[in-house]
Structure 1
Amino acid sequence: MMDLFDKPPVDPQENAEREPRAPSEAQERLQLALDAGAIIGTWVWSVPDDRLTADERFAEAFGLCPQRCAAGICVKDAFASIHPDDRNHVTALMNASLQHGGAFRCEYRVLRSDGQYHWTEGSGRAELDAQGRAVRFPGVLLDIEARRAAEAERDRVTAMLHTFTSAVPGVVYAKDRQGRMLVANHGTTLLIGKPPSFYLGKTDLEFLEDERQARQIMQTDQRIMRQGRPEQVEERVDMPDGTEAIWLSNKAPLFDKQGVVIGLIGSSVDVTARKTTEAALQELNRELETRVDQAVAEREAAQAALRQSQKMEAVGQLTGGIAHDFNNLLAGISGSLDLIRLRLGQGRLADAERYLGVAQGAAQRAAALTHRLLAFSRRQNLMPVPTDVNALIRGLEDLVRRTVGPSITVKVDLSSTAVTCLVDPAQLENTLLNLCINARDALKGGGCMTISTCDQWLETGPGLDPELAAGRYFTLCVADDGTGMSPQVLAKAFEPFFTTKAVGAGTGLGLSMIYGFAKQSGGQVRIESVEGEGTRVYLQLPSQAVAATPVAEVAPILPEAMAARGETVLVVDDEPSVRMFVSEVLVSHGYRVMEAADSQSGLQLLRSDVHIDLLVTDIGLPGTLDGRQMADAGRLCRPALPVLFMTGFAQPHVLEDRPLETAMAVLTKPFALERFFHGINTLLGKTPESDDAPG
């Protein structure tokens, strides 16, 4: 028999060639859970290297450290919590599964942290490779303490029932075709309470005192003899002591040599005690079910209350962080404007340009903050295109080296295979730079940073987010050998506004933004870190079997090169300040402008005979139509009308479920004038390369 605790070392190459012949880990766990129910823990035992990983509930059931179980322990360490009287039985069943494959199921007692042994049931299945050697052993742990207690009580009551039944003699008798008693044993005499001379040769109607009861028995006997087949029936009989008993009778017709029914033979046993016990057990089961339902309801209510508390705590932290950062930025903007007003009143214009620069810088930082919040909430405007991630990294390599400084060695190890991902390249660049800056800060001025990529297949399970499907993913990893994170810091790494940096040194939105960007792009981000040893951050995006889109360099178009040719622009925005700003900028550059404050007013102008060359509209408009719906309705009568959408927050259906059509573009608020006029000139066909572009 195989010894669970003394296995020979496994050759790594041999171990690598072993492939289990079983479903995936998540599928196995799910099937076991469906078969068993009442799950209190799950485990996966890697047999070749004797490494058992388990979840927190398993660790609690075995009285073990959750962190150790998550990292992996020896099976021997887990077996130490099993009751000594049960270990040999568990070992024998587990060895049988390891040798031949197949299911493992065993009930045993486990010593929990409260110092008491509790009954549990382990259910699993050993997975064998092509050579029939065990490689993995996944399973689930079930709580059967209540069931074992109920079974013990039922066994006790059943034993009492058997004792009581054996003390009462059975009844055996035979009747003729007319129902007269022919022969009977001593048990019949005890049942009737009279000597045989009283009932032999008579029908039930003649010797039973209860006429209704006698007629029911005779009708049953006649039916059985008429149908010619045996039957088991329950009969209520008045006992000699005046009580009513329940008798279980097996009755069968008697045949002569020619197969003619000549009578009936029966045997009866008093099942009153058994019926009483069964009723008691049914009541006990109903009571247990009620108690279990109540316990489950209480646990779910407690979990819901905990989730609500955590949600409110997160909302409080989020709003507090936003208020803090925006107050700082607004202070810079409002203070600069106050100084400009003061200098204008004094006739001192020399400092106005400097104050304007401060206000504009604060406004840009505020815009960056909102973009990070949108990324964290997975609702930012992404422009995904098929992107060669390796090529993008190579293009940023020099910038990364200059950013982290000469004291940090930057190694780049890219996969040899060119892989395409459907992703917003600009956001991916920001993500990579954020990760590299975090790694630089963790290195504290010296060390090594590695940027690597690989293409891999991810299965469902611990390595893949439950919201994602198994498949091929391209992994970008940024690793450093710096300070690392403690488990407490690692658990909060993706929380918004959580930062270990000094006050004012960071917003705490970097990793949360990366998390939101990865999720919105159909991927995931994971962190592995050991305090004092370093950190590895994995960004995993789904691979695409399409060619990458080359990144075109777009030359900036300055406002001075954007003179209008008398075009008419309809501006629709419910925010007066934005509407005024956009309109005045357009008018100052020679455009004719019409304004509307809501979608209904804008749609009336679009459906009128007024000449309109371009529609500039916010997406989030009040009323029955949003900006996208208004533009679609307007294009029914103006099919070729160019549309520039402005948005500070785009609903997912605007861009994802209904892709932009020809001559449509999106501009995220706040925006620089260069980007605004670049969008207008592109939609109107006025680019620097155009023949009719202003000189």
Structure 2
Amino acid sequence: MGWFDRLQTFMTHGLYQLWRPEPVFLHVASDGLIAAAYFVIPFGILSFVRRRDGLEPGQRSAAISFAAFIVLCGFTHVVSILTVWYPFYVVEGWLKAATAAFAVMTAFRVLMVVPQLVVLPSPKKLQEEIDQHRVTLAELSAARAELALRVRATEDELYEAEQNFAQTDSLLEAVINSIPGLIYAKDLSGRVTMANQTTLEVIGKPWAAVQGRTDLEFLDDKQQAAIVMENDRRVLETDRVQEAEELVDHPTTGTRIFLSTKRPLRDTSGVVRGVVGMSLDITDRKRAEAQINQTSRVSAMGDMASALAHELNQPLGAISMYLEGVKIALQRDTPVHPALKPVELAREQSLRAGDIIRRLRAFVSGGDRIRQSESVAAVVDDACRLALLGSDDANIQTVIEHESRDIFAGMDKIEIQQVVVNLVRNAIESTSAQGRNTITIRTGRDAQSRACVSVEDAGSGFTDATRAILFEPFKSTKGTKGMGVGLSLSRTIVESHGGTIRGDTNPHIGSTFSFSLPLAPQEAAV
């Protein structure tokens, strides 16, 4: 018997229902509608799974299993319709077994994803969250708008502050650069970090040549630079304000004297970062003080010289007359007497001493001003003769060079002679000490068309004491050798008439002292 023949041994559902149309139609219609619904629902599930993003793998497999289970359920209802006419109970049983297996697997998977599904918010909850997010977004947008306004306002304030700072910096820079004193700052290594315009003008170099460099690197006089850096180092070591007088060579006006006040430079935390200082040019004040002191000294010396000249004038006159008598007596006895020449020289020296005394008294009284008819060259010739009279070295040779004999200075003849005598005698001492015998005296005009006199020796160069007299006239000359008071007095005389005196030295070659004087009024007019 075949499989289909065995099916004929079962009774159909129609027989159970006695083929009455009402129950048959009811079961067939219900199973058909259920099957149709079961066949449609999986399409919706699969469409949901395909379109829904963000599903977990477990959730996706559970949905597919559920769709398969529903499809199998739909087939069981189709088989139930067929069993109304055909007894496919074995097929129906196996189909239900497969459906049961899928049901168990689907139930297991559903139970696995239920905790995940439980935490999913409901549509109402989602709507509430969406509404809350919208409110939050609106508040965030408002906050962003307010923040943008504040940022814009802050940017405007910062821009205004920058402008104010720029104006303040410009004003501060203008004020610092307009101050006549030197203002500067240096780091711990002595490198310049700030300098005003006055400082750069005194140094004679641009900011690019000074920035980040030490005094030894940009100052030409290394001795001056070393002294300045030593004063800076003392400020850092003592951590206190220090004052010192410092020398700096000006490119046009020569060596200047500065009163420097320096103090430690600290940052906002109080740590010392360098030195800040201010220096004031006190050269003119020092010269004025020196002139006042020298004037007092000259006045006292003048009183004493006047008294001495008065006391010496009579003895020298008597000596001259006595020597004249001795000369006449010697010539009467023997026209060529051996003692005649010494007597003649002694009488000449006494006459010259008297002339010097008369000139000294004229100088003290303020008279005997240089005459237009007597040029600087003539005064220098006379002064050189007087200077050589007091020299013990007969081998000294003088070379006198005059640019012109038509140059007249606006200063007393006796004062010019005194300055020249001092310079020539100093040159004689320096030259003879080195075993040399040539001194060169020149007269002419300098670059400013002023009357100029220079005395060049062949000595060893002048000393620090002489340099101090030239560049620091306020220092005492007590205990100095060489010119000493003579050079200091010469400088006072020259500067009191608006002139300048300077000295250049070259070790082992010699020194050159020179002074310049304004021309006489009638000469300057020409």
Q: What TM-score, normalized to structure 1?
A: 0.28
- Structure 1 or 2: more strand by fraction: 1
- Structure 1 or 2: more helix by fraction: 2
Which structure exhibits the higher relative contact order, with contacts defined as CA atoms closer than 8 Å and separated by 6 or more residues? 2
Q: Which has the larger radius of gyration?
A: 2
